[in-house]
Amino acid sequence: MEGFWVYGVNPVLEALRSSIEVKDLLIAKGRRERGVERLLEVASLRGLAPRQVDRSQLDSLTHRAPHQGVALLVGPFPYRGLEDVLQGEGDSLLMVLDGVEDPRNLGAIVRTAEACGLWGVVIPKRRAAGVTPAVAKASAGAVFHIPIVQVSNIAQALRRLKERGLWVVGAEASAPRSLFEEDLTGPLALVIGGEGRGIRPLVLRCCDLLVSIPMRGTVGSLNASVAAGVLMYEALRQRQRKARGERA
């Protein structure tokens, strides 16, 4: 992708605050709320002068998405390599998505992953959502602040992570033990499957451990982004307790 338009005040602001290439900033005529003033300040620091346009032009550009009167043209999204996200200090924590197709789910997962301090999010190149304007919007701009790795084969990527010492934990509804009963500290890759089908059999076989999320109601499953959020925050909770010397 040569580049794409990011829209909405928060996604545009976060893109401007990141290192991604920025090319053009459009502001709807008469738009001067406080959030936009902050956005213009950051754009000025990057040497980018906004262009005022009619709101109808932004409606057309974003296909009538909720753009809030602002849109930013950015360069190609800088996907990272798998090895790039394993260079930090301490126990690594990655989220691996096996075929999440809904851009809103991907955006929500990325937003939660960034909030939890994950090292990165791994997604497949085919038959899955990639980073798009809708994903940037759903993530509130978090896609510009956390490494996103796009790989050709999820199973192969998991095997590489295991070779690097990560323990692979998959979320599977039929798993006999819940995530609250397992140790989610240490170097981990957390795996969530796609909407409807879950984790594919080949990827399931790459998992060292399968955990379920307890369901007390009538509905038998959670939305992919909600399940990923539960898994990430439980891992974060256990790590924080371990850091304080407490039992999980």
Which pLDDT tens digit goes with each residue over 139-158?
Answer: 999 999 999 999 999 999 99
CATH architecture of the domain with residue range 83-243? 3-Layer(aba) Sandwich (3.40)
CATH architecture of the domain with residue range 4-74? 2-Layer Sandwich (3.30)
Mean pLDDT of the chain: 92
Give the closest residue to 210 by CA, choosing from 164, 187, 248, 179: 179
- Integer Rg of the chain from CA: 19
What pLDDT was estimated at residue 243? Answer: 85
Give, in order, the Cα–Cα distances in Å from 21 to each of 45, 137, 245.
Answer: 14, 17, 43
Same fold flag, 4-74 and 83-243: no
Between 64-68, 126-130, 209-213, 224-228, the lowest mean confidence (pLDDT) is in: 64-68
Domain locations in the chain as residue ranges: 4-74, 83-243
Please count the residues of the chain.
248
Query: Can you tell me the distance from the alpha carbon of 65 to that of 152, in angstroms, rounded to the nearest whole number?
Result: 30
Between 75-89, 141-155, 197-211, the lowest mean confidence (pLDDT) is in: 75-89
What pLDDT was estimated at residue 224? Answer: 94
- Provide the whole-model pTM: 0.92
Quick: pLDDT tens for 49-77: 999 999 899 999 888 888 989 999 999 99
Give the closest residue to 107 by CA, choosing from 65, 69, 73: 65
Give, in order, the Cα–Cα distances in Å from 92 to each of 20, 44, 144, 158, 179.
Answer: 24, 36, 20, 14, 18
